[in-house]
Each structure stands twice: as C-alpha cells, then as structure tokens.
C-alpha cells in the first residue's frame, strides 16, 4: 500500500507539477517567489481570511463590496434585506454566499473587483417574485435578486439557491 501511495503521490503527479512550475516560471521567475513565506504565497494565491473568519465582519465592509443597478438602489428594501441577512450570517454561510456569487469562498487581496452588483430579477412567469430563486453570474459578480417581501423570505430563497448551486453550473 505504501509503495502504491508513494508512486501515485510522487510519480503520478510529477509531470503535472513540472508543467505547473514551468507555467508559473514563465510569468514570474521562481527565484523571486522565494522572498515570500509559504503563508504569504497562500494568501496571494488563495485570498485572505481564515476559515472561521467572516468575509464581511461589519455592514460597512459588506457595503464597500456592493453596488446596485438595474432596478435597485442601496435604499431598496430587498437590498437592505440582503445586507441585513448577510451581516447576520456566520463565517461559513458568508463564505458559501461568496462562492455562490464569485466562484471562490475567499476575497482576493484588496476586495472584490468588480464589486458585487445587485440587480432586480423580474419574474419569468405568472408567479410572484418571491416564488423565484436569486441567480448570479460569477464572472462579473452579478446577483439577480427577486423583490422579496421580507428578510426571512430572502434568506430562505438565498440559502436554497446557495445549496442548489453548490455543485452545478447553469446559465441564467
């Protein structure tokens, strides 16, 4: 068992790792990376924050990463509900939301770029807006949010969308 594990972990991935290192070396000479500690490199590549640390520890931090457009303003009730709900969530839920809207559970150094844009999602049929789930475009950090009547209904639908979207990629 040990020999099989050794073979797969060392020799099985060696060609892929050599290719990765060659690609990185084309963009940045490896010798220059030696000035960074491993933790610094991890932060530069993976983003900031420990797993148990909130993405947005305050409402102000959340609002700094958020813009509105196409039917919503910062004063719109669903946007206020969104801020209220996200600010109340623990670190794990905030990370799941961030992964839902960006594809990554960590903020890059310097914050979101582009910022999270929240727009109104109009109904696609005869049902009321609260019958629909929010959708997003992860490439542009674009959240399409129906006009939910309460923070509770927004939270319920947002949690459902996050859960349903964890292992799928659909066009919206």
Residues with a catalytic annotation lie at 139
CA atoms lying within 13 Å on the CB side of residue 45: 9
55 Cβ neighbours under 8 A, 6+ residues apart: 49, 91, 94, 95, 97, 98, 106, 107
- Strands 116-120 and 142-145, by their bridges, are parallel
Taking alpha carbons only, the member of 72, 46, 82 closest to residue 161 is 82
Query: Contact, 109 vs 43, CB < 8 A?
Result: yes
């Amino acid at each position: 068992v040990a020999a099989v594990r050794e073979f797969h972990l060392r020799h099985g991935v060696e060609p892929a790792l050599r290719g990765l290192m060659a690609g990185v070396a084309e963009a940045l000479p490896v010798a220059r990376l030696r000035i960074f500690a491993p933790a610094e490199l991890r932060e530069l590549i993976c983003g900031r924050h420990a797993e148990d640390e909130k993405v947005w520890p305050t409402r102000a931090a959340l609002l700094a990463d958020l813009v509105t457009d196409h039917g919503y303003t910062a004063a719109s009730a669903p946007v206020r509900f969104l801020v209220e709900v996200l600010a109340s969530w623990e670190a794990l839920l905030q990370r799941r939301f961030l992964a839902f809207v960006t594809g990554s559970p960590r903020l890059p150094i310097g914050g979101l770029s582009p910022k999270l844009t929240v727009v109104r999602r109009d109904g696609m049929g005869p049902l009321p807006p609260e019958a629909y789930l929010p959708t997003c475009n992860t490439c542009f950090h674009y959240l399409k949010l129906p006009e939910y009547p309460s923070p509770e209904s927004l939270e319920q639908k947002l949690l459902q969308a996050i859960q349903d979207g964890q292992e799928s990629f659909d066009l919206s």
